[in-house]
Structure 1
Amino acid sequence: MAKRDYYEVLGLGKDASADDIKKSYRKLARQYHPDVNKEADAESKFKEVKEAYDVLSDDGKRSTYDRFGHVDPNQGMGGGGGAQDFGGFGDIFDMFFGGGGGRRDPNAPQRGNDLQYTMTVEFKEAVFGKETEITIPRTETCDTCHGNGAKPGTKPESCSVCKGSGQQEVVQNTPFGRMVNRRACTNCSGTGRVIKEKCGTCHGAGKVKRQRKINIRIPAGVDDGAQIRMSGEGEGGLRGGPAGDLYIVIRVKSHEFFEREGDDIYCEVPLTFVQATLGDEIEIPTLTEKVKLKVPAGTQTGTYFRLKGKGVPKLRGYGQGDQHVKVTIVTPTNLTDEQKELLRQFGGLSSDTSNEQEHHESIFERMKKAFRGE
């Protein structure tokens, strides 16, 4: 799919000022940030906004974009099968216009990667919250060399080939003339540094793999699919860069009796024909205790009763949701002859009612309709 125009992404015209670009980016970044916006395409929109800002906020990149638009960095210049591969577009621009000021410093601090951990909790643990401990594998800054990869008492040296830039210039003679292509330095692998005596703990990587135990507090009321962000608990950074973040994705197990919709709890309880007809007081389990529920005479199957404040604690705010109890009339089975005769008598008496609909529709048919949601 073709990329959208960067100005269109930020909702700006091509004459937008640097201040306009910054304001629009901040507004859209807050709108689409995955921590705030849970829509399916929020993350892709956030990345699109960030990419547009990275280009338009840099004078050199913006000038190039205004001239040439989107350019595939894997495409060469010229046509046909003999096109020369000139590497990234930044190299082409530098080659003709002498740029290069916006290139990243290979020795700059680097932020660590974010991590994601999926945690499965019981239904009531999600409702009431929980404190627990998890163990995650992650890379951390090496304590021996403090992340520089060199043996204690030594330090990395600037690469003698690329002079610390992390790049080499390769000169090629082509039909278009003498061309210069920039590539990652083969001597230092693009880092701009050479470690002559490597750290014995991390072997020059600056990081080590560890199993780290972390205390987690799951807030009361958390729902399935929620994310908990733990700042700085991701992988360690390089060269003094900050650690990444840890995102814990909550998965909630289903319950054999309760179902949850938002902050409300739903359950279904059976009633006998006699209880529904004459009324009764029954005992209902809730998330914390058992309570009495008065069922009025003549209650129909599928009727809902609300138990106020017996639902899930609200994750953001005060109070709790409600519990909704659906009653279902259970058809009696294995009746004795005496019980059957009494029901026949009841059927004969109920046929005298003035409601013609009930003359032809038995209680069992009404129950079937209720189960079908009619």
Structure 2
Amino acid sequence: MRVPTSILRRNVLKRGPLQVKPFIISRSFHPSIKRLIDYDPYQILGIDKSADAKQIKKAYYDLVKKYHPDVNKEKDVEKKFHKIQQSYEILRDKEKKSQYDQFGPSAFDENGNANPFGGAGAGGAGGGNPFAGFGGGGFGRASSGGNPFGGMGFDFEDLFREAFAGGRGSAGGRAGGSRAHFVTEHVGDNVEVLKSVPFKDSIFGSKVTINYKVVDSCGTCSGSGLKKGAKKKTCPTCHGSGQTTHVMGGFHMASTCPTCQGTGVSISRADECGTCHGNGVQEVPKSTTIDIPPGISDGSRIRIPGAGDAPLVTKDEYNQVRNGDLIIRVSVQKDPVFKREKNDLVVNQEILMTTAALGGEIVVPTLDGQKIKLKVRPGVQSGRKLIIPEKGVPINRNLDDRGNLDVVLNVKTLVPENPTQTALLEALADAFNDKNANRTDADWRSELEDSLNNEKYEEVDEKDLHPSKLARIGKVLGKFFNFDADKSKRDNEK
């Protein structure tokens, strides 16, 4: 609601009758009763006396956003907002601030004007104008066509521009040369790429080339989204503030402007870059070569800063853009011989039964490419682990500090393929008094049965220990039918 200046002036003049002084010191008129400010500007702004200009300004902007009459509908909010205005006017000026620090509240009247009788000089800011604290317009909006907040003693567009770092005063530039230049940083998304590497490369490291696609700044307009020589214009929806206000249930709700996405500026269709269509970015293929560190494990991620997507904003002096990161997820291929267990490599080595029994030497491969000859003691059992130091995985990417190579022995049973081999194995069984092994001699079973004292045992074939699904089904059905047959027989007997 707009309050006319004339009404405001009348309200102020009602505070006391004016008297004409018989002699003039510095002004023609003075109120008969000079009311002094009844508050502490530092306390109103919530700052200490040691606060610098930047802290004063920040505190003022925070309070303006909270207690502006167009936003805050609390009772007496205009009076509180007026005190905030006056406190800022006093403390922002070095001379006024010095006067208040020296003389206290007696240095200024209730309108924030210098009091010539309170210790401050007659030439202080304000000049006797009782409306200086209001900026000449009181609360409310100015006449149409101008800045609706011009009468508040500050530029509301400048407030939004500096407080939210998203507003624009003019197309592609500042609204005023003396105003601070705030920059918003935008960060793009990360891009993740899966890269498969051979097992050996994961152990010793290598260089790999990554081909991928990212959203990057347009090469034609260098990310501005504009044709050559064109400029951005103030957003027609939010008028450069970057935000729109909606009234919902009596509350004023602020949200990001849907037209400019909070940037405060827009690009007309006629000024759009022909390559990126005003977006400032486009999808492009890229290729990069990276180092796979030694000892990297499956599923590890390698991050390349700044090699990801660019943010989906156009570049200008108010927007600082930074690309996201490229994240490479490493998938290690399996090796037919070696497998990894933490910092150790494991290889399964088969040895013949005779070697395991008599001892001997075996040749073991390594991932380095060389072969190692190992001596095996007589009677070694299957599953025995032999450890070769410093032939495993590099520890902490250090090729000079490696884990172990574990050689797991797997004893291979001999299977005779001719009568000679069968005879030799039977002789070996006889030599070791193995009466359980098969013999080609027909009398060996009767001798075995005699040695078992004619005890009866249930015979189970090895193939029946792990029957197939079909065999298990057949066995169940067989029991079922046999049961039915026995039942019919009993019924017939009755």
Same fold, TM exceeding 0.5? yes
Using the TM superposition, give the Cα deviation of residue 181 of structure 1 relative to its aligned residue in structure 2, in angstroms. 2.8
Task: Give TM-score scaled by structure 1 length.
Answer: 0.63
* Aligned with residue 307 of structure 1, among 370, 388, 391: 388
Give unpaired runs (5+ residues) of structure 2. Answer: 1-58, 60-70, 78-158, 168-182, 435-451, 453-461, 463-494
Alignment-derived partner of residue 402 in structure 2 = 320
Q: Does 1:191 align with 2:263?
A: yes
Matched, 1:221 2:295: yes
Determine the structure 1 residue equivalent to 2:379: 298
Cα distance change, pair 114–95 in 1 and its aligned pair in 2 (3 A): farther
| Aligned residue number for residue 217 of structure 2 | 141
Which residue pairs with 1:271 in the alignment? 351
Query: Which deviates more, 138-147 or 200-209?
Result: 138-147
Contact 2:310 2:323 in 1 (8 A): yes
Q: Tell me the distance in 2 between the aligned counterparts of 1:165 and 1:128.
A: 56
**Compared with structure 1, are the counterparts of its residues 95 and 281 closer, same or farther at alpha carbon in structure 2 (3 Å cutoff)?**
farther
> Secondary structure of the residue that 1:241 maps to in structure 2?
strand
CA contact (8 A) 2:197 2:331 kept: yes
- Which residue identity lines up with residue 141 of structure 1 in the other structure? S
Tell me which of 189, 192, 195 is aligned to 1:119: 195
> Deviations 1:99-121 (Å, cap 9, x if unpaired)?
99975737723111111111011
Q: What residue in structure 2 maps to residue 329 of structure 1?
A: 411
1:197-208 mapped onto 2 (5 Å cutoff) = 197-208=271-282
Does the 8 A contact of 1:116 with 1:247 survive in 2? Answer: yes
Moved more, 324-333 or 342-351: 342-351
Query: Post-superposition shift, 1:205?
Result: 0.6
Of 287, 299, 315 in structure 1, the residue corresponding to residue 367 of structure 2 is: 287
Could you say which residue in structure 1 is the equivalent of 2:422? 340
Aligned pair count reads 258
Q: Is the 8 A contact 2:204 2:294 kept in 1?
A: yes
Q: How many Å apart are 1:310 and its aligned residue?
A: 1.2
Q: In the alignment, what sits opposite 1:105?
A: 166
Tell me which of the two structures has the higher relative contact order, counting C-alpha pairs closer than 8 angstroms and 6 or more residues apart: 1
Paired with 1:322 and 1:185, the residues of 2 have a C-alpha distance of 62
User: In the superposition, relative to structure 1, how do residues 182 and 121 fare at CA in structure 2: closer, same or farther (>3 Å)?
Assistant: same
Aligned-pair distance for 1:128? 1.7
Q: Is the 8 A contact 2:303 2:328 kept in 1?
A: yes
List aligned pairs for 1:5-154, cutoff 5 A: 105=166, 108-154=184-230
Alpha-carbon deviations, 1:203-247, whole Å to 9, x = none?
A: 111111100111111112111011111111111244331111111
Task: Compute the displacement of 1:95 (Å).
Answer: 5.9
* Secondary structure of the corresponding residue to residue 126 of structure 1: helix
Supply the AA of the counterpart residue of 1:286: T
Amino acid at match of 2:402: Q
Kindly indicate whether the alpha-carbon contact (under 8 Å) linking 1:117 and 1:248 is maintained by their aligned counterparts in 2.
Answer: yes
Cα gap change, 1:139 to 1:268, in 2 (>3 Å): same
8 A Cα contact 1:264 1:321, kept in partner: yes
1:158: how far off?
2.2
Return the offset for 1:151.
1.6
> Separation in 2 of the partners of 1:193 and 1:293?
76
Q: Which moved more, 1:185-194 or 1:302-311?
A: 185-194
Larger-gyration structure (1/2): 2
Partner of 2:120: none
Q: Alignment partner of 2:187: what SS?
A: coil
Structure 2: how far apart are the matches of 1:258 and 1:210?
40
Task: Indicate the larger mover: 123-132 or 336-345.
Answer: 336-345
2:207 partner letter: E
2:321 alignment partner, SS class: coil
Deviation by residue 1:84-143 (Cα, 9 ceiling, x = unmatched):
xxxxxxxxxx76789999757377231111111110111111112111212110011123
For residues 216-255 of structure 1, the aligned pairs below 5 Å read 216-237=290-311, 238=313, 239=315, 240-255=320-335
Q: Which residue of 2 aligns with 1:160?
A: 236
Task: Give the whole-Å Cα distance in 2 for the aligned partners of 1:263 and 1:105.
Answer: 52
**What is the CA-CA distance between 1:260 and the residue it aligns to?**
0.6
- Is the Cα contact below 8 Å between 2:356 and 2:377 reproduced in 1? yes
Q: Secondary structure at 2:367's aligned position in 1?
A: coil
Gaps of 5+ in 1: 1-58, 60-93, 353-359, 366-374
RMSD: 2.9
Cα offset for 1:257? 1.1
Q: Output the amino acid matched with 1:168.
A: T
TM-score under structure 2 length normalisation: 0.48
User: How far did residue 153 of structure 1 move?
Assistant: 1.5
